[in-house]
Structure 1
Amino acid sequence: MARPHEDHLWALVHTERAALAEDLVGLDAEQWRHGTLCGRWDVEDIVAHLTAAASLNRWQWVRSMLGARFRPDVHNQRRMLEHRGASPADTLARFRGVVGSCTAPSGHTAAYLGEVVVHAQDIRRPLGLLRTPSAATLTPVADFFARRDFAVNSRSAVAGLRLHADDGPFRAGDGALVTGSPLALLMSMAGRTPYLDELAGPGVATLRARLEGAPQA
């Protein structure tokens, strides 16, 4: 049985998935093909990836990674194509079907909340869609990202830096100060360099130097 904290995090995951699905309803064909902050993937690719992420339990993930010879990019590409529909409408319908899913390869629920938050912003920012998750949603993800490298090398990126959210409770690390909104700090930890422009403090230059040219996950 899930602990109350995990239940709370899953509820946040479901809320963020539902919010993204609503943002996607009115997209036209050109917008579905639009570039994102996630490397070569377009909007529909990311939506299919999120469907895949909500559909794989631990053993399915292990089998997929074995088949990909433990190459995450190969695994992600195969699973994304598997869950991409015949049309954007079909892809969106598949995503809506997993909005309430609690399926995941591991118990790192904060990381899976982070996956939805980060990829939603990967889509929203290039399209000019305005939605910022609450500090209550962003804080557990930022805490997790600052503590460890998981799907992204977030802990390594901010090692030796002191992070301070200017409109939320998130605090982490020691060293040169980096301040900004919880969303800008989280997205920067996830390697999304456009958000660096929203940060301030003497540690920003170090963080920028570490992130520039880093691949997006």
Structure 2
Amino acid sequence: MEDVWSMVHAERAALIDDLVHLDAERWDEPSLCGEWTVHDVVAHLVDTARTTRLGFVVGLARARFDFDRQNARGVERERGASPQETLERLRRVASRTSTPPAPLDSRLVEEVVHGEDIRRPLGLTRSYPAEAVVRSLRLQTRTPTSFGGAKELVARVRLTAADADVSIGDGPDVSGTALSLLLAVSGRKVALDDLDGPGVGTLAVAL
């Protein structure tokens, strides 16, 4: 089993390579992550790469225990005056191994899901390592919805990966690639178009 940090570092490096020649105006395009732009998501990845366990707790307290407020402050703090400045910040933290108080596989979820939040709107593609995607999917389906996961959702549908030995949940089947399943259970509705099966409607309503 590949070391988690090796996979995280590889994903950060791959994203940097994808963005290094991106025209500055394209950094303002909407991402798949709420109201954030591509630039905002990159800034968020810088922030999460810097975050330590203690720093997370202190930051959350300062944000009055509002995760969205804490994330917004992190984006504001790490977003550079230009895309290249933000990209350089990401390059400087790409090899870090600090983490908030969460399962280590959550670092893979951050890199893979936010990687797609950035790449898909830009028309970029990446062939992610299967282990990184599957571990991310398994963690998301074990994580409660209140923490950004899909534990309650998979009590109503069964997720079946067409490209990996993964079948999770109980209910009408939803099938697709592990990456599309991961994006869907992470709240990215655009991935629903990539899925098949009688459970897709149930999944769509839940999102």
TM-score by length of 1: 0.91
Name the residue aligned to 1:113: 108
Give structure 1 stretches of 5+ with no counterpart.
212-217
Task: For residue 172 of structure 1, give the secondary structure of its aligned residue in structure 2.
Answer: strand
Structure 2: runs of 5 or more not aligned: none
Instruction: Report what 1:75 is aligned to.
Output: 70
Instruction: Please state if 1:162 is matched with 2:177.
Output: no
Offset of residue 107 of structure 1? 4.6
Asked whether the 8 Å contact 2:149–2:186 carries over to 1, the reply is: yes
Question: What CA distance in whole angstroms lies between the structure 2 residues aligned with 1:25 and 1:107?
Answer: 30
Q: Deviations over 1:142-196 (max 9, x none)?
A: 1111112274132223322111101112221121111000100000010000001
1:61 to 56, 64, 75: 56
- 1:215 maps to what in 2? none
The match for 2:86 is 91
1:3-22 equivalent positions in 2, closer than 5 A: 8-22=3-17
Mean alpha-carbon deviation: is it higher for 140-149 or for 195-204? 140-149
Residue 62 of structure 1, CA deviation: 0.7
Tell me which amino acid in the other structure corresponds to 2:200. V
Identity across matched positions, percent: 43
- Between the two proteins, the alignment pairs up a number of residues equal to 206
The residue that corresponds to 2:168 in the other structure is 172
- Counterpart of 1:127 in structure 2: which amino acid? L
Does 94-103 or 157-166 show the bigger shift? Answer: 157-166
Whether 1:205 aligns to 2:198 is no
Within the candidate set 126, 136, 141, 1:131 is matched to 126
Q: Distance in 1 between matches of 2:205 and 2:171?
A: 16
Report what 2:184 is aligned to.
188
SS of match in other structure, 2:50? coil
